[in-house]
């Protein structure tokens, strides 16, 4: 009785149509689902072209996007690998195949091995083959031909388990893997090959025979005849993988296609046999499509899974060692591992050593379909010399959320300035068992962002002064213009910034030689009024001697002296811009808008006018990328920007917040819970929080879900009237012994802060940062006051001594609070008058009665209004030690009149700032300063840094 034909073509057709249906069905609930197969072909071999055509056609039928990348025969290995790398990283590409054979100058193995295992839909990469060859391995994909063979056997209801199978041929792409598959399905497999003696002898008993030896009709039909004397009811199934072209003059093409088996004879003795063509070939292509679909589905699942951030174990010691000792005792994760845990691709990451990295803000674009995570602001009560521990609380909270409650959470903090780090004990790494590590790298240089700001600011300052010098020393317009727009190699042209300035001046000319003398004067002379220059030079060191200086005293400067000064770098407008920019383009535009001075006609002169926008942006091109570090428990921290808390917003950057909120965000179709971004703002809520909402959130469009208000028993006692604390002297006993009265009295400050937060419509959790001497009665008093004042919850937190474990209660309260509805609104309308905005802040936040604008300040307000800067939000610089302008007024002063001594413009940053007092914008070093204790051993280990 003749055998039957096993029809691969029909089977493949059915697979393709099933795939198409499944894709459509998924698209029903995930509209963006689009399986995408990249096919790289190098050169122009006709056979390769045929195969690629078949694959593209099959993809189209199956509803899969085929991304065909056709490279020139001469492409170098480096170029091919670059394409592979790009496709590996491209989230829209699910499968990648490199059409073989490649031109002889390319290393096939190196190139195919470069394809990520998760995208290796051919199944031949080292990981997938390795897993296939493991007994209980988990390959991402099975190689297409072997997989197609098994599917055909299944289709024909062939029993594989317990069968005897013979594989003829031991190639890497068919023979060996199909034998592995059969073995894994519990067949007993014999692999025969060119060196096997008497192959026929193995076939008589075989149930399944796979032939892949690449020789036309090598296997004779009669080999399948039952052995003499054995029964003839053997039901052998033959899979013929061969595709051999042999001469056939009867065909129009001159050749015909035959398999490795003598089909017409074999079919007489076997139960089932695949034809050639129409057998295994179409199945191979169909399996490629199925693998692509599998890849796309897996990626969809992966991207909707919650992030997995395994914590680093903490070994808590008592008494708690110094911050640097704790930091050094912990071996951090390699930062690329943490980035991977956060789902950041390697091309989005720039490593800076082993423990710091910059993240490309392009992450925001890639994850644009995600809903943001929860946004938590950590703020504090009015500061006291005792310290409240906002940074430590921020770190403890994220450590608790991620390492102890399994919720993805990112802490977003500012980069510390070297000034305080080397001046007084400071830094913002947190402390104890809640800090950023390695703390020395965090505190010194980080990735150089502050230095980049310093360089940019000082280029601007030099450009302004030098421009004035040249304008003054070259009295003749023509000579000056010739130097400003010089001829080079005979050619003369405007730089792009000059061209933009001409356009602003209404001069529509592009040839420098075409300007009239009037136009030259208008264009070339900035006529800066030296008394109006607002840009000071900066240095990131506490150098008090530079507060006020006279420059230009060298003979070469020809008596063009000027009184000016230095600020600390973090006080510069560029730092505020870095913190408030939404992206690189926004930063560039803000830099261009910075008003550096007025000209002799009181018109504003901008960075664009000085021609510095591009150079400043170039110097800050890397600084705009947030820096990834980690907490002591290996959870992620973004460190970015660090604007001064006195005269600026004192918060980390909008870009870092946007990146972090997307990283812990969720895809709309995902069922998982969003993660948390915890950030902080300098000083108390009334200063830092108010600016955070009215300036930073207004700029970013982001809305917090909850505010954590940090308080301590000691600080509240200080507000409640406990004796003053003096450096170097023992703490008065009022602080170390129970005193509920001081606590209750001081809690008024906390309650005012709670009320202030509630004015913005956001829920408040009070975190009582625990000290050993706190008593239950004191804590109960705080909690009672907080709840009465409208806090959502008030809990103690012991993260300094215990890390995240100590902040679990706080974390739980924050999770609950952030699920409350938010009714967010700004405190004031930016379009109200400057005076009204000032009054609103003073009355609603500070509790003052009225404002008193001094004449000099009023003159500036009028000028800014006239120049069109009247509708900016306002940052008020005042003492941080009181709700009022008077540092000696603790608790909750009321009824005071708040003085406005000066108003200044930060047009690039996008706000006016009003000064209630003389604010020191560069600190000094004390007689004993932090730098004196710092030592470095021969291995580069730093000691004495706190």
Binding to its own copies, residues 894-923 (CB under 8 A) = 920
- CA atoms of 931 and 938, how far apart (whole Å): 18
Per CB under 8 A, contacts with its own copies among 190-249 are 190-193, 195-197, 202
The dihedral through the CA atoms of 521, 524, 525, 526 has a sign that is positive
Interface characters, 253-292, with its own copies (x: CB under 8 A): ----------------------------------------
Question: Which H or E run includes 748?
Answer: helix 740-759
Least spacing, CB of residue 247 vs its own copies, in Å:
29
- CA atoms of 593 and 571, how far apart (whole Å): 18
Residue 927, interface with its own copies (CB under 8 A)? yes
The DSSP secondary-structure symbol of 803 reads G
- CA atoms of 416 and 419, how far apart (whole Å): 8
Per CB under 8 A, contacts with its own copies among 366-425 are 418, 422
Residue 100, interface with its own copies (CB under 8 A)? no
Residue 491, interface with its own copies (CB under 8 A)? no
Annotated binding site for ATP: 384-391
Contact assessment for residue 463 and residue 611, using Cβ atoms and an 8 Å cutoff: yes
Per CB under 8 A, contacts with its own copies among 150-189 are 161-162, 170-172, 176, 183, 186, 188-189
**Residue 365 is encoded by which pair of tokens?**
């674009």
Phi, psi values for residue 630, rounded to 5°: -145, 160
944 Rama class: left (phi>0) / alpha (psi -120 to 50) / beta:
left
- CA atoms of 233 and 227, how far apart (whole Å): 11
Least spacing, CB of residue 608 vs its own copies, in Å:
11
Least spacing, CB of residue 468 vs its own copies, in Å:
9
Per CB under 8 A, contacts with its own copies among 732-761 are none
Decide whether 208 or 484 has the Cβ nearer to its own copies.
484
Decide whether 495 or 516 has the Cβ nearer to its own copies.
495
- CA atoms of 150 and 143, how far apart (whole Å): 11
Residue 661 DSSP SS3: helix
**Residue 248 is encoded by which pair of tokens?**
């056939």
Least spacing, CB of residue 326 vs its own copies, in Å:
17
Segment lying near its own copies (by CB under 8 A), choices 88-96, 278-286, 549-557, 804-812: 549-557
**Residue 622 is encoded by which pair of tokens?**
């890397």
Decide whether 336 or 871 has the Cβ nearer to its own copies.
336
Of residues 364, 452, 388, the one with CA closest to residue 782: 388
Decide whether 353 or 723 has the Cβ nearer to its own copies.
353
- CA atoms of 596 and 465, how far apart (whole Å): 11
Residues 6+ apart with CB under 8 A from 196: 202
Contact assessment for residue 556 and residue 524, using Cβ atoms and an 8 Å cutoff: no
Decide whether 36 or 187 has the Cβ nearer to its own copies.
187
- CA atoms of 10 and 18, how far apart (whole Å): 12
Residue 539, interface with its own copies (CB under 8 A)? yes
Rounded to the nearest 10 degrees, the angle between the axes of helix 46-62 and helix 280-304 is: 60
Identified binder of its own copies from the candidate list 618, 780, 849, 887, rule CB under 8 A: 618
Residue 100 CA: distances (Å) to CA of 51, 279, 314, 610: 10, 21, 51, 58
Segment lying near its own copies (by CB under 8 A), choices 398-406, 680-688, 903-911, 936-944: 936-944
Per CB under 8 A, contacts with its own copies among 333-372 are 333, 350-354, 358
- CA atoms of 352 and 334, how far apart (whole Å): 11
Least spacing, CB of residue 372 vs its own copies, in Å:
23
Cα 645 to chain centroid, rounded: 25
Identified binder of its own copies from the candidate list 31, 130, 668, 868, rule CB under 8 A: 130
Identified binder of its own copies from the candidate list 519, 543, 673, 738, rule CB under 8 A: 543
Identified binder of its own copies from the candidate list 300, 397, 403, 452, rule CB under 8 A: 452
Q: Which is the catalytic residue, given 41, 55, 330, 399? A: 55
Per CB under 8 A, contacts with its own copies among 795-834 are none
Contact assessment for residue 580 and residue 699, using Cβ atoms and an 8 Å cutoff: yes
Segment lying near its own copies (by CB under 8 A), choices 17-25, 92-100, 485-493, 709-717: 485-493
Q: Which is the catalytic residue, given 119, 120, 122, 435? A: 122
Residue 308, interface with its own copies (CB under 8 A)? no
**Residue 746 is encoded by which pair of tokens?**
């001081």
Identified binder of its own copies from the candidate list 40, 662, 945, 946, rule CB under 8 A: 945
Compute how many other C-beta atoms are within 10 angstroms of the C-beta atom of residue 722.
25
Beta-carbon-side half-sphere exposure of residue 686 (alpha carbons within 13 Å): 30
Least spacing, CB of residue 848 vs its own copies, in Å:
28
Per CB under 8 A, contacts with its own copies among 773-792 are none
Of residues 895, 891, 894, the one with CA closest to residue 745: 891
99 in catalytic set:
yes
Decide whether 522 or 560 has the Cβ nearer to its own copies.
560
- CA atoms of 100 and 117, how far apart (whole Å): 18
- CA atoms of 902 and 897, how far apart (whole Å): 15
Decide whether 176 or 435 has the Cβ nearer to its own copies.
176
User: 232: exposed, middle or buried (C-beta count within 10 Å: 0-12, 13-18, 19+)?
Assistant: exposed
Identified binder of its own copies from the candidate list 728, 821, 855, 895, rule CB under 8 A: 728
Decide whether 192 or 382 has the Cβ nearer to its own copies.
192
Cα 505 to chain centroid, rounded: 41
The gap between the terminal CA atoms of the chain, to the nearest Å, is 91
Interface characters, 492-531, with its own copies (x: CB under 8 A): ---xxxx---------------------------------
Question: How long, in residues, is the chain?
Answer: 946
Rounded to the nearest 10 degrees, the angle between the axes of helix 175-184 and helix 144-155 is: 50
- CA atoms of 355 and 336, how far apart (whole Å): 8
**Residue 16 is encoded by which pair of tokens?**
């393709």
Least spacing, CB of residue 944 vs its own copies, in Å:
7
Q: Cα 815–816–822 angle (5° rounding)?
A: 100
Segment lying near its own copies (by CB under 8 A), choices 248-256, 674-682, 887-895, 935-943: 935-943
844 in catalytic set:
no
Least spacing, CB of residue 333 vs its own copies, in Å:
8
Annotated binding site for NADP(+): 169-171, 194
Annotated binding site for substrate: 51-55, 98-100, 277-281
Decide whether 34 or 81 has the Cβ nearer to its own copies.
81
Least spacing, CB of residue 680 vs its own copies, in Å:
25
Decide whether 471 or 738 has the Cβ nearer to its own copies.
471
Least spacing, CB of residue 327 vs its own copies, in Å:
14
Of residues 904, 394, 934, the one with CA closest to residue 648: 904
Residue 548, interface with its own copies (CB under 8 A)? yes
Residues 6+ apart with CB under 8 A from 417: 450, 540, 568, 569, 570, 642
862 in catalytic set:
no
Per CB under 8 A, contacts with its own copies among 69-98 are 76, 78-79, 82
Segment lying near its own copies (by CB under 8 A), choices 42-50, 382-390, 480-488, 782-790: 480-488
Identified binder of its own copies from the candidate list 372, 447, 666, 769, rule CB under 8 A: 447
Contact assessment for residue 691 and residue 423, using Cβ atoms and an 8 Å cutoff: no
Segment lying near its own copies (by CB under 8 A), choices 210-218, 469-477, 715-723, 839-847: 469-477
Least spacing, CB of residue 361 vs its own copies, in Å:
10
Decide whether 171 or 215 has the Cβ nearer to its own copies.
171
Q: Which is the catalytic residue, given 41, 99, 415, 880? A: 99
Decide whether 628 or 945 has the Cβ nearer to its own copies.
945
Q: Which residues does the annotation mark as catalytic?
A: 55, 99, 122
């Amino acid at each position: 009785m003749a055998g039957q034909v096993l029809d691969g073509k029909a089977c493949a057709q059915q697979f393709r149509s099933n795939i198409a249906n499944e894709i459509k069905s998924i698209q029903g609930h995930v509209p963006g689902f689009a399986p995408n197969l990249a096919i790289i072909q190098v050169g122009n071999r006709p056979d390769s072209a045929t195969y690629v055509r078949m694959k593209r056609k099959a993809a189209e039928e199956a509803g899969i996007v085929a991304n065909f990348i056709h490279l020139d025969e001469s492409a170098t290995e480096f170029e091919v690998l670059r394409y592979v790398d790009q496709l590996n990283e491209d989230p829209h590409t699910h499968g990648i195949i490199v059409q073989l054979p490649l031109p002889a100058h390319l290393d096939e193995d190196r190139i195919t091995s470069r394809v990520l295992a998760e995208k290796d839909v051919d199944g031949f990469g080292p990981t997938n083959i390795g897993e296939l060859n493991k007994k209980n391995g988990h390959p991402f994909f099975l190689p297409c031909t072997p997989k197609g063979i098994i599917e055909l056997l299944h289709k024909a209801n062939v029993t594989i388990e317990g069968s005897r199978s013979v594989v003829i041929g031991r190639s890497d792409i068919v023979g060996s893997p199909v034998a592995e598959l059969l073995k894994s399905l519990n067949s007993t497999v014999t692999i025969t090959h060119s060196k096997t003696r008497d192959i026929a002898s193995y076939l008589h008993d075989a149930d399944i025979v796979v032939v892949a030896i690449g020789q036309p009709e090598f296997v004779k039909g009669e080999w399948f005849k039952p052995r003499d004397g054995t029964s003839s009811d053997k039901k052998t199934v033959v899979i013929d993988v061969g595709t051999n072209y042999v001469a056939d003059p009867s065909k129009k093409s001159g050749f015909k296609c035959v398999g490795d088996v003598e089909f017409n004879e074999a079919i007489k003795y076997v139960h089932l046999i695949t034809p050639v063509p129409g057998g295994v070939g179409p199945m191979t292509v169909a399996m490629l499509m199925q693998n692509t679909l599998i890849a796309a589905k897996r990626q969809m699942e992966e991207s909707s899974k919650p992030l997995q951030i395994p914590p680093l174990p903490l070994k808590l010691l008592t008494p708690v060692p110094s911050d640097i000792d704790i930091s050094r005792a912990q071996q951090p994760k390699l930062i690329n591992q943490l980035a991977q845990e956060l789902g950041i691709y390697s091309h989005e990451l720039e490593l800076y050593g082993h423990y710091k990295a910059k993240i490309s803000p392009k992450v925001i674009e890639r994850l644009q379909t995600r809903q943001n995570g929860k946004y938590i602001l950590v703020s504090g009560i009015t500061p006291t010399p005792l310290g409240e521990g906002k940074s430590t609380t921020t770190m403890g909270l994220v450590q608790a959320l991620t390492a102890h409650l399994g919720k993805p959470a990112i802490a977003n903090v500012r980069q510390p300035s070297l000034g305080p780090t080397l001046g007084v004990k400071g830094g913002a790494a947190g402390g104890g068992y809640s800090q950023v590590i390695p703390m020395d790298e965090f505190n010194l240089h980080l990735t150089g962002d502050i230095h980049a700001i310093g360089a940019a600011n000082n280029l601007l300052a030099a450009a302004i002064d030098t421009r004035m010098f040249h304008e003054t020393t070259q009295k003749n317009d023509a000579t000056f213009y010739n130097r400003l727009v010089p001829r080079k190699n005979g050619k003369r042209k405007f730089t792009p910034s000059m061209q933009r300035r001409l356009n602003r001046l209404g001069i529509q000319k592009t040839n420098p030689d075409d300007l009239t003398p009037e136009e030259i004067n208008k264009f070339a002379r900035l006529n800066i009024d030296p008394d109006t220059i607002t840009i000071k030079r900066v240095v990131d060191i506490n150098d008090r001697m530079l507060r006020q200086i006279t420059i230009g005293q060298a003979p070469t400067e020809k008596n063009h002296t000027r009184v000016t000064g230095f600020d600390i770098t973090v006080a510069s407008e560029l730092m505020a811009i870095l913190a408030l920019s939404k992206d690189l383009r926004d930063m560039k535009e803000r830099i261009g808008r910075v008003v550096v001075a007025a000209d002799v006609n009181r018109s504003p002169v901008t960075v664009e006018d000085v021609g510095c926008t591009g150079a400043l942006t170039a110097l800050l091109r890397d600084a705009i990328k947030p820096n990834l570090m980690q907490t002591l428990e290996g959870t992620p921290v973004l460190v970015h920007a660090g604007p001064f808390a006195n005269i600026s917003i004192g918060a980390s950057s909008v870009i870092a917040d946007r990146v972090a909120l997307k990283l812990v965000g969720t895809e709309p179709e995902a069922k998982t819970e969003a993660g948390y971004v915890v950030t902080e703002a300098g000083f108390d809520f009334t200063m830092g929080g108010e600016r955070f909402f009215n300036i930073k959130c207004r700029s970013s469009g982001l809305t917090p879900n909850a505010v954590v208000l940090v308080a301590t028993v000691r600080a509240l006692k200080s507000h409640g009237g406990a004796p003053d604390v003096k450096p170097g002297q023992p703490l008065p006993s009022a602080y170390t012994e129970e005193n509920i009265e001081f606590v209750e009295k001081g809690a008024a400050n906390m309650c005012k802060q709670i009320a202030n937060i509630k004015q913005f419509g956001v829920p408040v959790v009070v975190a009582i940062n625990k000290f050993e001497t706190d008593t239950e009665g004191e804590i109960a008093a705080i909690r009672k006051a907080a709840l009465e004042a409208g806090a959502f919850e008030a809990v103690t937190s012991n993260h300094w001594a215990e890390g995240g474990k100590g902040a679990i209660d706080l974390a739980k309260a924050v999770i609950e609070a952030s699920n409350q509805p938010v009714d967010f609104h700004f405190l004031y309308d930016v379009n109200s008058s400057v005076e009204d905005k000032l009054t609103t802040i003073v009355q609603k936040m500070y509790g003052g009665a009225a404002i008193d604008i001094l004449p000099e300040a009023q003159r500036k307000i009028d000028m800014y209004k006239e120049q069109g800067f009247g509708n900016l939000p306002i940052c008020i610089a005042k003492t941080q030690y009181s709700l009022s302008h008077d540092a000696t007024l603790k608790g909750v002063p009321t009824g005071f009149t708040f003085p406005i001594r000066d108003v200044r413009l930060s047009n690039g940053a996008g706000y006016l700032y009003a000064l209630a007092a003389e604010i020191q914008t560069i600190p000094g070093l004390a007689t004993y300063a932090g730098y004196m204790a710092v030592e470095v051993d021969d291995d580069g280990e730093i000691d004495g840094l706190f």
